[in-house]
Amino acid sequence: MQINSDFNQRVVIRPEQYQFIDSPLAGVSRMMLDRAGAEVARATSIVRYAAGAGYSGHTHDGGEEILVLEGMLSDEHGDYPTGTYLRNPPGSHHQPYTLAGCTLLVKLWQFAADDNAQVRVDTQQTQWLPGLVLGLSVMPLHEHNGVNTALVRWAPHTQFSAHMHVGGEEILVLEGLFCDEFGEYPAGTWLRNPRYSQHAPFTGKEGALIYVKVGHFDAGLLGDRFIQQES
């Protein structure tokens, strides 16, 4: 299966374009943002769990990254409310479920082979750091070999200078309205800007909160083998 699997192409998916597809597990549906591979795949998805849904215990051979967007996800290791950021490294095992339902950003097979850290970040309790320009606040979530993941809060009427993303950039707008010279992106919009892309982002009166990952295209991640096999 190939969905937005040409990583040289810019992709913008807005919330009104979401089309959730039932997964093989009852009560779990997925909006596939990009995917290379079959049921085992290098994948980025918005995943919805209905109340009471859950998976049997399983191992993530390629690792799993999760940001809880709404509700609460649970497993045998704990409960993860809205705003929790999780990284389950390659070879990790768990049995996820939800009591009341939840919505997640999920990324699979996007780990380096030597990235073995188990990460749990409660973004509701973690301190924000000053950004590079006035009006920006940054919450680092993870870094490994030049791949960086963070939350970035933009105050209203913040302007960032034009810059290049050598290793590509991926954004999910969580709150507000994020903008650049190519358009406006309301909450729920997912953007993928390819390697060596350039833009000059800004916000208007709403400000914005975004999840952002940079440096992960052509970074030698485990799931890159699916792209090579399927292309």
Quote the Cα angle for 82-147-1, to 5°. 75
Q: Are 218 and 42 in contact (CB under 8 A)?
A: no
pLDDT in tens, 133-175: 999 999 999 999 999 999 999 999 999 999 999 999 999 999 9
CA distance 69 to 125: 15
Tens digit of each residue's pLDDT (9 = 90 or more) over 199-213 = 999 999 999 999 999
For 84-94, write each residue's pLDDT tens digit: 999 999 999 99
Distance (Å, rounded) from C-alpha 205 to C-alpha 190? 21
What tokens were used for 128?
Answer: 């924000």
Q: Residue 71: count other Cβ atoms within 10 Å of its Cβ.
A: 18
Q: Does 216 score more than 60 pLDDT?
A: yes
pLDDT per residue as tens digits for the range 15-53: 999 999 999 889 999 999 999 988 889 999 999 999 999
Strands 41-49 and 84-88: unpaired
pTM of the model: 0.95
Amino acid at 126: T
